[in-house]
Structure 1
Amino acid sequence: MIDFNKEGKIVITCYDRNAPFLEAELVALDFKIDGVFRTHVALKGTLNDCIFLNMHLRTASHVLYEIDSFPLDHIQGLYDIIKALPWEDYITEDGYFSVISNVKHETVDNPLFVNVKIKDAIVDRFRDKFGIRPDSGSELNEAVFQFFWKGEQASIYINTSGDTLIKHGYRKIPGSAPMMESLASASLIASGWDGKSPFINPMCGAGTVAIEAVLKATDRYPGLYRDDYAIMYINGYDAGVYYDLKKKLEEKIKPQPDFPIIASDISERAINASRANAKTAGVEDFIQFEVCDFREATIPETDKGAIFFNPEYGERLGVEEELELIYREIGDFMKKSCAGYTGLVFTGNLDLGKKIGLKPKRRIPFYNGTIDCRLLVFELYKGTRTIVYDTPKEK
């Protein structure tokens, strides 16, 4: 059994380019950061901290706790190193575990072979010590161990999450071109929206962005919608810690916002999906749903608010020429009807983004799957001052 209060290295993975927004989350949760990288953030903490992080993080993929790190120059040395580790401290002899490997090394051309080597080493240690062995497989539904090997250095971790955290548990109807919940949350952090002013989401699709906006505004965290994590199958796990954290999550929830959050779409089917997902999240009554073209969406007059578009990109959903007019009309609509708001357009087609006709204050890079995307940020001033910022060069 291991000590869940012992401090160790924690690595939190995320979508490529999401690390700055994951860092912002962690700082807001009072964690001290040791390093920020393109697809992960490193810090120190305990396994009980990992429980907390799994339940609170909106932009993360997995929370990993380091078991060991060691030099490794050839696959032939891996079995003995892994077998020497005290696996009986982590799982029971009649339990179940799975292994994930991320390997970039000249002696390996198939990461699945590495998984087998690690599984064999763990199983053989149990068989030698106890005469019985745990089961293993590819399903991430109990204990999960994650192995990284690049160059001459390797590390093995407890994957405390198991199934990915990018899905927040409420979206039962994904829609035709869904934005993952973690990406929607990262976009909201990047946008600078304060969670205290009107939020308008035309072309809402399955409603992910609008729902994440409500969750942000009411301090509803992903742990409210999930009750199973891989850490629960590690020796030393105390269910009392989890249930105490769950209770505190429920106590954090704020009442219904006193400002409008509006989701609209021209498709009644999309709005029905949005309603269903919002109902699962427990926030259906907090969103004003509208079936209408984006030009007819309700835009409350305000001195501060955000309007968020995630239009089609062209590569996947339509002919690019047909979308040029839509992007141009989004720009005209924001300029004429959204004064006082921050305009936000998330697009995976940079050429179409230029058709908006407004100069963005910022172009924030993201990936949506493998698609190179930008969140374009526009300041929509009241009066005649609509576009004033030069666009900074992307790093």
Structure 2
Amino acid sequence: MSALFPNYARWEIKAQQGNGSTLVDENGKEYLDFIAGIAVCNLGHCHPKVQAAVEKQLGTLWHASNLFQFEGQEKVAEILASHSVGDYVFFCNSGAEANEAAIKLARKATGKHHIVSLKNSFHGRTLGSMAATGQEKIHAGFGPLLSEFTYVELNDIDALEQVVTDQTAAIMVEVIQGEGGIRLMSKEYAKQLAHICKKFNCLLIIDEVQTGIGRTGTAFAYEHLSLSPDIITLAKGLGNGFPVGAMIGKEALKEAFSAGSHGSTFGGNPLAMAAAEAVLTEILNPTFLESVQKKGDWFKNQLEENLKSLAIVDEIRGKGLMLGIACQIEVAPIITACREKGLLVLPAGPNVLRILPPLIVTQQELEKAVSILTEVVTNLSEKQATHI
């Protein structure tokens, strides 16, 4: 009998060890891990440079509180600012905390409270970030949420124009909805989104918790759409498994987060900063990002060639190494069958298979994944046809 709350639908796998793209269970079975901690271990499990950086920091200082100055915070903040459109950084411990900070900053900086976000979005499970999340299943059972949030469909400009007013503090979006089904923002929508923000003098918040830190082949996914967000939120891949989150904001927002306005006991601690600096040094190398784009393009093309014609497959979508296979059936059986064959993938809603390999994945590993996915989806497609 477990002493844990049953709030996770856990698989019957006890993860014991990880190395690169491989996860090993308690029985020694190896899995090709194309979940990567849900887009967290972008450099794979136990990356030697990240491990070395954290081990080195373990011997000097773990924590002293944000009453003190830390060189590591300054270094990581400078890297994030120099590779984004932002100027200042607040460190925390997770994506939910980063989004909570973004909501508070937008409200305080503008003096307005209304925020527009998107249906099928996911921004976290704290009361504020949950209110920003446009999914009823996330809200269910928790009573009244933080007020003054409005949800509209992604890529529906008319719907957005109808709800944004002079009293709107911010529009909060993901440029690729991860939990919402690997849904991509269109270029035309992005263009109009920027126009509406300027017209109504509201801030643009882009949640890059899942898409950021190289996942789509650029430092941040907003770069694909030439957007210039006022606030960017990060976590997941920033620490490669070490808990760390960050919010990046533009110069004009600096004074709204003056001393005492917001904080985090553990945010930006020396261990997290050691991990983040090592991660960013590796991933933000242009050659590395180019390799992610090339691998992602090849992988997506192979999935389209092998799966697109199958009866149960609607669409292969995504960017870089953040891909989804939209199906006409629920994908739970596909996930189970892949897992039995040693490939770990996960859902993005009931009908979309989400694939998030480590960014250091090899060509051989991608080929193996294509082979397993093709076999599994083909078999299920044939079975589905016999039942029609």
The two structures share one fold, judged by TM-score above 0.5: no
TM-score with structure 1 setting the length:
0.29
Structure having greater relative contact order (Cα 8 Å, sep ≥ 6): 2
Structure in which a larger fraction of residues adopt helix: 2
Structure in which a larger fraction of residues adopt strand: 1
Larger radius of gyration: 1
TM-score with structure 2 setting the length:
0.30
